[in-house]
Amino acid sequence: MWTVKVVSLGVVGLSLSLELLFWLFSRRRSERVTNKVLFFPSKVACVEHIFSPTLPHSHVCSLPHGVDTSFSRLLRYILSACSSLDLCLFSFSNMDLSRAVLLLHSRGVTIRVLTDKVYSAISGSQIGVLRKAGICVRCDVSAVHMHHKFAVVDGRMLITGSLNWTLTAVQSNMENIIITEEPDLVQPFVKEFCRLWGLNDSAQDLNSVTD
């Protein structure tokens, strides 16, 4: 009789523990998955402390300091890359975003940039700067526009929306950016980036010769 009682209570305990563990696991998973939205225009504020965290907030510059803005959050998400950053961008002329990409490159993060051929050549484009720094850049050479504006951080976080990586988009226009780690949303973009990167392989070889 005692054996039956002990076994029964053991099973109750085990079952309840499993239930609790399962609940905690589900809760932690949903807390871990990032799903954020940023809207623009962003307030204009100093972002030096994002690039140099040791820099005191009172360093000399006329912009407001220590302000959390849509743009500072976007920079932080990009700078969170540890191993890889894949960029698929129609237009890239924002110098702070370019600085963030160069900083990641100097940290050894593998960066691939796919961009629109026409817009890569416009005044102020950062594409030439990235290429000169040794970052792997490919231009889409099809007759149509490569109108994407997305980034994939470490193959697990997607940053996408209406925002071109320009100063006007960040500081003036009404724009949106989604930051998500939902695999159902991230993985199709990872796959599409690889497809487009592969498609423009031979074109890139041609660019390397003519540049």
* Options 55-63, 75-83, 123-131, 144-152: segment touching a copy of itself (CB under 8 A): 144-152
Quick check: 26 binds a copy of itself (CB under 8 A)? yes
> Per CB under 8 A, which of residues 42..81 are in contact with a copy of itself?
none
Complex with a copy of itself: residue 9 or 121, whichever CB lies closer: 9
Exactly one of 31, 184, 210, 211 binds a copy of itself (CB under 8 A); that residue is 184
Distance of alpha carbon 59 from alpha carbon 52, whole angstroms: 11
Quick check: 32 binds a copy of itself (CB under 8 A)? no
Distance of alpha carbon 203 from alpha carbon 200, whole angstroms: 5
In whole angstroms, the minimum distance from the beta carbon of 55 to a copy of itself comes to: 31
Distance of alpha carbon 188 from alpha carbon 203, whole angstroms: 24
State the greatest distance between any 2 C-alpha atoms of the chain, in Å, as a whole number.
88
Q: What is the dihedral sign for C-alpha 104, 207, 128, 151?
A: negative
Q: Of 103, 114, 99, whose CA–CA distance to 201 is shortest?
A: 114
Quick check: 151 binds a copy of itself (CB under 8 A)? no
| Known catalytic membership, residue 5 | no
Catalytic residue among 116, 117, 148, 149: 149
Burial (CB count within 10 angstroms: exposed 0-12, middle 13-18, buried 19+), residue 3: exposed
| Known catalytic membership, residue 132 | no
What strand order describes the sheet that includes 149-153? 136-140, 110-116, 84-89, 149-153, 157-161
Catalytic residue among 59, 145, 147, 191: 147
Give the residues lining the site for a copy of itself (CB under 8 A): 1, 4-5, 8-9, 11-12, 15-16, 18-19, 22-23, 26, 35-37, 39, 41, 90, 140, 142, 144-150, 160-163, 168-169, 172-176, 178, 180, 182, 184-185, 188-189, 192, 196
